[in-house]
Structure 1
């Protein structure tokens, strides 16, 4: 009987994941982080061919292995068209910061879609969420965003160990993507327990939870590029110091997940209070954010999001310093 109850609850909250969401702005956020580090990331790295036999299954149609630096092949310039910078390689080389920046968005390009990864994915209609989230609802847990992070950390180590700096940095950028995803509270849980239960019977509640997830994903890229606070947010990311982290990367990513999960109630409360009925109908637009911001309705959400950005940034800076000084810059 207990197993049936668990399965029912799992089915309910997984139906909310039928639309899959990235924590937007990976390339811009990661650029600000890596350019603020004193780790010789301006060093030029030779572009190397992909020669790896991976144990991970991908949608190979979207698992690109060529280099697309300088092409803006997969993303459009945001806001001013110049940030983050994406210069073309020179003599087959590009700086390490650029590899980390442009490929941090790569896992959202489709490599995790249309796969057979878990029996649970039949409940969400797609496999991408399996790899990008780590849902927790009471005693129920699902998905493997943490394993995605650890996998790419390990294969990055393998690349650096054989002297392949290009793929060492590129695989590391994929790992950063999953770590950043797991700082997004909606990647840990879709709603409160009773909202999730109610969403099974009430379309408005289901729409609200789906659109709230989208809204917070988009809020980060809004803050970096379009908000009246954009300059403050960019400076915050640049100036945030590293924080103390576990030396064991498995313990580290577990800490990240629990932090994201712990911030969910506050983020969710402020999202709903600020955006109200908009979330029942659609995902907010940039114009919506700007109007709400001008009216002061995003002030509390902005405050808690700055706190999340500080912890996320301090954690990622500490991770990169530890990882790169240990494995990349010997």
Structure 2
């Protein structure tokens, strides 16, 4: 085989492995609780009631229509863990067909993980992976290889939100905005920007144990935010950090904003991955840690470094998300006045 042909074949195998990691990828766990804390701490009236309206839109994207729910399901699902401490609400049903802004932004921030991006044929890359969820929720960069469209997911729903508000449809304006929030939060998760180190990914071509470890590491860090917000001994401190973080205004252009978010997540990957592997050594090779594992390791002081790194990410994510929401909701107010 010619050297150039061999190089092309190796690159193809390498690419297939990188893409295959997306098959198992989800997102930060705890979107609902984290987003609730962010939205409730915004310097705006998030208790404003909005009339629920029907879906009347033609979108340029395809979805798994079985799971692209267009009705309102406020009060019909259990969105928050019941800790009994009054921090998170019970997700009340609509009153007179209306919902407060905070509830729309909060409960629908989980919606993109309910299956709307699964079992689709999105692009030529779809032939290389078994599930389209990762295509829509990540934006991998590994050396010369860049793949997936998490950034486009964010931009799409920002534009849909703006279109809805121009029509005077506040309900779908906020609901589309909550979908956009989901993808912005996803791309702050470092594992949504890189699957592993170059050499780990290369090794995974020949060693399924390495692939399993990388997948488990990804899931572990997804679940760490859930643990911090709900169950950690530092939970109230983490919640207060989210509440008190001041907004950071990056850009009113959604494409520029999400590019900055992706680069930040990509930049933070090495230290997050290094610490996840160290803290959960011996577990990642076989499974994803349970909440009890998190509690045990936290009690032993083995998550201290990961906590410090993650709080830095959470603060940055919170500042940017608050700045984005304040900017968009200010735009909303201007649009409503013009209408």
Q: What corresponds to 1:243 in structure 2?
A: 248
Please, which of 79, 99, 107 is the counterpart of residue 112 of structure 2? 107
Aligned to 1:243, the other structure's residue is in SS state coil
Q: If the length of structure 2 is used for normalisation, what is the TM-score?
A: 0.94
Aligned to 1:278, the other structure's residue is in SS state coil
Q: Does 1:79 align with 2:83?
A: yes
Q: If the length of structure 1 is used for normalisation, what is the TM-score?
A: 0.96
**CA displacement, residues 56-98 of structure 1 (integer Å, 9 cap, x when unaligned):** 101000011111111226x463433865321111111110010
1:20 positional shift: 2.2
Is the 1:204–1:280 Cα contact (8 Å) retained in structure 2?
yes
1:122 positional shift: 2.7
Is the 2:13–2:205 Cα contact (8 Å) retained in structure 1?
no
Please, which of 189, 192, 203 is the counterpart of residue 187 of structure 1? 192
Is the 2:22–2:135 Cα contact (8 Å) retained in structure 1?
no
Q: Does 1:137 align with 2:142?
A: yes
Is the 1:160–1:328 Cα contact (8 Å) retained in structure 2?
no
Q: Which runs of 5+ in 1 are unaligned?
A: none
Is the 2:80–2:88 Cα contact (8 Å) retained in structure 1?
no
Q: What corresponds to 1:24 in structure 2?
A: 29
1:244 positional shift: 3.3
Q: What corresponds to 1:284 in structure 2?
A: 289
Which aligned pairs between 1:4-153 and structure 2 lie closer than 5 A?
Answer: 4-72=9-77, 75=79, 77-80=81-84, 84-85=88-89, 86-153=91-158
Q: How many residues align?
A: 329
Q: Which runs of 5+ in 2 are unaligned?
A: none
Counterpart-to-counterpart distance in 1, 2:11 and 2:189: 25
Please, which of 228, 234, 237 is the counterpart of residue 232 of structure 1? 237
Q: What corresponds to 1:305 in structure 2?
A: 310
Q: Does 1:274 align with 2:279?
A: yes
Q: CA RMSD in A?
A: 1.4
1:201 positional shift: 1.2
